[in-house]
Structure 1
Amino acid sequence: MIRAVIFDLDGTLLNRDVSLKKFVDDQYERCKQAFRHIHKNTYIERFLELDARGYVWKDRVYQQLVAEFLIDRLTWKELLDDYIHQFPFHCTPFDNVENTLKRLSEDNLSLGMITNGFEVFQMNNLISLGIDPFFQSILVSEREGIKKPNPEIFHRSAESLQVSIDQCLFVGDHPKNDVTAAKAVGMTTVWKRDSYWNEVDADYIIEDLGCLPAIVKSINEKEGKKYDF
């Protein structure tokens, strides 16, 4: 019986690829004087390459950009500060995020989140999406002192939602940090398909978050049966 649905944030609820491209485009336009000697597309493409889909923190990204492009009108720390404060204004959700969370809540399911990252930054992004009120538990790795795929953070999430591990459905996009880690502790897993990764060993595979209410219903009505939505 599924009583709680726990989500990853980046790449699952937050369309990070779209959000980041919007931010970098905007940063270039706002800082044109400092970037005047760099072609816009060159700056954007190199930023995205160095970012490595969010797995390289931006202090290293900006240090590298400043060094490579000989940027002298802004320091890497000023650019990083701009990223921290301006990125939330560009946060873009995937389709059907709010409607899905609302439907799950209406079905009396508890909702949780586990996200790796810095607490203030991640919370600002969540607030920007306008979906923070749906969650009864939000665990951010910086605050917890551990991060996915550490099994302890999954146990903490279930405990905070007052459900057992096997009553949790975990939804994420990363094969190792989300799917494999959640399955290892005994949660039912949903992989939100990401073209960057090959097929993964998840209990359910989805393209659209709107499938989740039906998945929960199918599990609770027919224990053990798997579907590919």
Structure 2
Amino acid sequence: MAIKLVTLDLDNTLWQTDPVIIKAEQACHRWIVENVPQAAEFYTFEALHEYKNTIAECYPQLRHKVSELRFEVLRRVFLQAGISGDEGRQKAQQAFEVFYQARSEVTLFAGALDALTTLQKNYSLIALTNGNADLTLIGIDHLFDAHFNAEQLGAAKPQPDLFRAALSHAGVTPEQCIHVGDHQEQDIVAARRLGIKTVWVNLTDAAWVEDECTPDQEINHLCQLPAAIQALQ
């Protein structure tokens, strides 16, 4: 059966995520220091990072709602600094927007843009992510037909919701779809459970450790992606 849809993970598949998040958190904290200095007295950069982890542990329902989680952390920080109500929420939104803008300043992995441009000519492309990257801010939204995230659907990979949303949106069966991602369980195993073929983006030359299945294709550079997709036709 012909492949019609390619779904792609984003973070650590198309770009390296951890350095971007750190820079975004630093930008957010600088904004707090400059605009709400009394809150910065309570929370250093490191303390704010730890507080976010604490809130995530205390409220597991927020773990996949990454934007809502960060907003709630900021709202609580400003509340502790004596800023409550509408003003506190406004400050939290402003601080979050600083974070979110910086979070979208990613550098695509080598070969990523060319691969997406090539694939987009022959397949429907849909982004599936547990994160909150903004394809419009990044500048690649024109290459995708849709973008689903865990916060939007209320469930994160390896749950099947994101994959099912993509299949429904494109009007295709699992046999007509290939999923591309870096995470062994959240991307490859999760997709295979639904009967979707997979391409494992293994840019770090890691060993495969999952027993449930193996990827249909493995690539070590994104320039190899179009050929890997074609091989699964």
Per the normalisation by structure 2, the TM-score is 0.69
| Aligned-partner residue type, residue 216 of structure 2 | D
Number of residue pairs matched? 208
The alignment status of 1:209 with 2:218, answered yes or no, reads no
| Aligned-partner residue type, residue 21 of structure 2 | L
Change (3 A) 1:93 1:144: same
RMSD: 3.6
Q: How far does residue 85 in structure 1 lie from its aligned partner after superposition?
A: 1.6
Aligned position for 2:118: 103
Aligned position for 2:50: 46
Aligned position for 1:112: 126
The alignment status of 1:148 with 2:157, answered yes or no, reads yes
Q: How far does residue 170 in structure 1 lie from its aligned partner after superposition?
A: 0.3
Change (3 A) 1:28 1:74: farther
| Aligned-partner residue type, residue 222 of structure 2 | L
| Aligned-partner residue type, residue 16 of structure 2 | N
Q: How far does residue 212 in structure 1 lie from its aligned partner after superposition?
A: 0.9
Distance 1:137 1:2 in 2: 17
- Identity of counterpart residues, as a percentage? 26
Asked whether the 8 Å contact 2:203–2:221 carries over to 1, the reply is: no
Q: How far does residue 188 in structure 1 lie from its aligned partner after superposition?
A: 0.9
Q: How far does residue 213 in structure 1 lie from its aligned partner after superposition?
A: 0.7
Distance 2:143 2:172 in 1: 17
The alignment status of 1:85 with 2:127, answered yes or no, reads no
Aligned position for 2:196: 187
Asked whether the 8 Å contact 1:5–1:170 carries over to 2, the reply is: yes
Q: How far does residue 39 in structure 1 lie from its aligned partner after superposition?
A: 5.2
Q: How far does residue 44 in structure 1 lie from its aligned partner after superposition?
A: 7.0
Q: Deviations over 1:107-148 (max 9, x none)?
A: x1211122346xxxx4x7121111111112333344445543
Asked whether the 8 Å contact 2:112–2:223 carries over to 1, the reply is: yes
Q: How far does residue 86 in structure 1 lie from its aligned partner after superposition?
A: 2.1
Q: Map 1:1-229; keep pairs closer than 5 Å.
A: 1-32=2-33, 33=37, 34-36=39-41, 40=45, 42-43=46-47, 46=50, 57-59=69-71, 61-62=73-74, 66=77, 72=81, 77=89, 80-90=92-102, 91=104, 92-95=106-109, 96-106=111-121, 108-116=122-130, 122=132, 125-144=134-153, 146-193=155-202, 199=208, 200=210, 201-220=214-233
| Aligned-partner residue type, residue 128 of structure 2 | I
Change (3 A) 1:27 1:137: closer
Asked whether the 8 Å contact 1:21–1:44 carries over to 2, the reply is: no
Distance 1:208 1:73 in 2: 50
Per the normalisation by structure 1, the TM-score is 0.70
Distance 2:188 2:89 in 1: 35
Distance 1:14 1:37 in 2: 33
Q: How far does residue 186 in structure 1 lie from its aligned partner after superposition?
A: 0.8
Change (3 A) 1:37 1:136: closer
Change (3 A) 1:84 1:104: same
